[in-house]
Amino acid sequence: MNLSEFLGEVARQPAWARGGERAPHKRLVILYALGRVLSGRRLAKFAEAEHALRELLEQFGPLRAQQHPEQPVWRLARRGEESVAWWELEGAEQVPVDSSGNPSIPAMRAHVSFGLAQELAAYFVSHPADAWLAAHHIAASIVPETLREELVSATLGAGASLPLETHPPSETELVVREVAPSWRIVRDPRFSARVLSAYDERCVVCDIAPRHRERLFGIEAAHIRWAAAQGPDEVWNGLCLCRMHHAGFDRGALTLDENLRVRVARELARDARTEALFHAFDRRPIRSPADASQSPRPEMLRWHHREVFRDPAALVS
């Protein structure tokens, strides 16, 4: 199995459920397993990996009352009646399954090790740049660009360093698109320019519009409903944000309420600078677009509240 075939297999594990609900659990577990391979420890005992997996789901998955890392680990091993050759689940025969197909967690802890199968792992060990590309591509299908590096280093860790002779994915995007066309997210190239122009090229939160030698920098178009979650490339699904507020918006540290006021997550740590850059804008209205019909649409904001913002209770008060 090579990179293209592997990505084809991963693509068969949906990252999004109906209604744009985030369901990245299997892909996050695959990233974890890829990181294990690169650090030379292919199989992970479920009992030992459980904590790290739960952490990963909490950091990069949607907000849920309880995380269930055992489910993706278990379910990756089968597709319908067939077992999946590239995913290894050692000790599975000792794990009882209930009527809904859920494995016994104590039995998983006692008996199961999991990871990429030997042959695929060997491929990635001898082609580390492909592993890196795969990781970036999978990460791109789960989170927006502002969070991609964070997710890759959280999963690949020290193994994330790329051999110097290889270009980073941003430059080799075309190559990857060639090997894995099914991964392509079709984007409207005018989205960014239209969003920036709708808001006079200013961050809608802090109003900054820095220019150096007359060139604007650090101002970006954010998708409210992520592009990876089929968010449309329309101005009413976009926000013009400075790089810091873009990162905070994608991370769920801030959102907009239905009255288009900034809302900051109460969990965002407070120190003097964070106070000034984030908390000071809490409940302030954003800059309105020149054309009011281009304002952020409520259904896009509701998606962001549900799937990204990490303090939904704050919106009620």
Q: Which is closer to Zn ion, CB of 110 or CB of 244? A: 244
Q: Give me Rg for the CA atoms of the chain.
A: 21
Q: For Cα atoms 13, 17, 19, give the angle at the middle one, nearest 5 degrees.
A: 155
The 8-class DSSP code of residue 78 comes to: E
User: What is the closest distance, in whole angstroms, from the C-beta atom of residue 269 to Zn ion in the complex?
Assistant: 18
Report the distance separating Cα 143 and Cα 146, nearest Å.
8
Q: Is residue 30 within 8 Å of residue 100, measured between CB atoms?
A: no
Q: Which is nearer to Zn ion, 44 or 242 (CB)?
A: 242
Q: List contacts with Zn ion (CB under 5 A).
A: 203, 205-206, 242, 245
Shortest Cβ 218–Zn ion spacing (Å): 9
Q: Which is nearer to Zn ion, 72 or 248 (CB)?
A: 248
In angstroms, the CA 12 to CA 95 distance is 25
Q: Using the structure block, give the residue that is written with the tokens 């949906």.
A: 14
Q: How far is the CB of 243 from Zn ion (least distance, A)?
A: 8
Please state the closest distance from residue 302 (CB atom) to Zn ion, in A. 23
- The residue among 14 and 210 lying less far from Zn ion, judged by its C-beta, is 210
Residue 243 or 310 with smaller CB distance to Zn ion: 243
Pairwise CA distance, residues 97 & 59, whole Å: 28
Q: Report the nearest approach of Zn ion to the CB of residue 201 (Å).
A: 12
- The three-state secondary structure class of 183 is helix
How many separate helices (H) and strands (E) can be counted in the chain?
14, 11
- Whether the CB-CB separation of 209 and 201 falls below 8 Å is answered with yes
Least separation in angstroms between residue 264's CB and Zn ion is: 12
How far, in Å, CA of 242 to CA of 309, rounded? 18
Q: CB-wise, 70 or 220, nearer to Zn ion?
A: 220
